[in-house]
Amino acid sequence: MLGLDCMGDQMTRHVIVIGAGIVGASTALWLLRAGEAVTVVDRAGWGAGTSHGNAGVLAAASMVPVTGPGLIPKAPGMLMNPDYPLFLRWRYLPRLLPWLRRYLSHANDADTRRIAAGLAPIVGDSVAQHHALADGTAAADWLTDSRYSFAYADHAAFEADAYTWALRAQHGFAPDLHQGADVQRSEPSLSPDITCLASVSDHGYVRDPGGYVQALGQEVMALGGRFVQAELRDFDLDGDRVTGVQTDQGPISGDRVVLATGVWSKPLMARLGLRIPLETERGYHIVFRGAQGGPSHPVMLAAGKFVATPMADGLRCAGIVEFGGLDAGPSKAPFDLLRRQTRAAFPNLTWEDEVEWQGHRPAPSDSLPLIGEIRNTGIYAGFGHHHIGLTGGPKTGRLLSQLITGQVPNLDLTPYAPSRFV
Q: Tens digit of pLDDT for each residue in 258-305? A: 999 999 999 999 999 999 999 999 999 999 999 999 999 999 999 888
SS3 330: coil
Q: What is the DSSP letter of 108?
A: S
pLDDT for the residue 7: 39
Rounded Cα distance, 263 and 343, in Å: 32
Q: Other CB atoms closer than 10 Å to residue 73's CB: what's the count?
A: 8
Cα–Cα distance for residue pair 387/264, rounded to 1 Å:
15
User: Are 230 and 23 in contact, with CB atoms under 8 Å apart?
Assistant: no
Residue 46, number of CB atoms within 10 A of its CB? 26
pLDDT digits (tens, 9 = 90+) for 388-410: 999 999 999 999 999 999 999 99
Q: What is the mean pLDDT of residues 410-416?
A: 97
310 φ, ψ to 5°? Answer: -70, 130
Average pLDDT over residues 187-200: 98
Beta strands in 256-406 (DSSP E): 256-259, 278-289, 299-301, 306-311, 314-323, 353-364, 370-373, 379-383
pLDDT-derived band at 49, boundaries 50, 70, 90? confident
Average pLDDT over residues 408-415: 96
Query: C-alpha distances in angstroms, 49 versus 102, 380, 413?
Result: 27, 21, 27
User: In the predicted model, what is the mean pLDDT of residues 154-180?
Assistant: 98
Nearest C-alpha neighbor of 392 from the set 118, 159, 147: 118
pLDDT at 79: 87
pLDDT at position 11 is 52
Ordered structural domains, the chain, with CATH: 6-51+211-275+366-421 (3.50.50.60), 61-109+143-204+278-364 (3.30.9.10)
CA 200 to chain CA centroid, Å, is: 20
Average pLDDT, the chain: 95
- pLDDT one-digit tens code per residue, 340-378: 999 999 999 999 999 999 999 999 999 999 999 999 999
pLDDT of residue 83: 85
What is the average pLDDT across 115-144? 98
Percent of the chain with pLDDT over 90: 92
Residue type at position 252: I
pLDDT on residue 50: 85
Alpha carbon 360 to chain centroid, angstroms = 10
| Sequence-distant (≥ 6) Cβ neighbours of residue 13 within 8 angstroms | 36, 37, 255, 256, 404, 405
Average pLDDT for residues 181-207, to the nearest whole number? Answer: 97
298 close to 205: Cβ distance less than 8 angstroms: yes
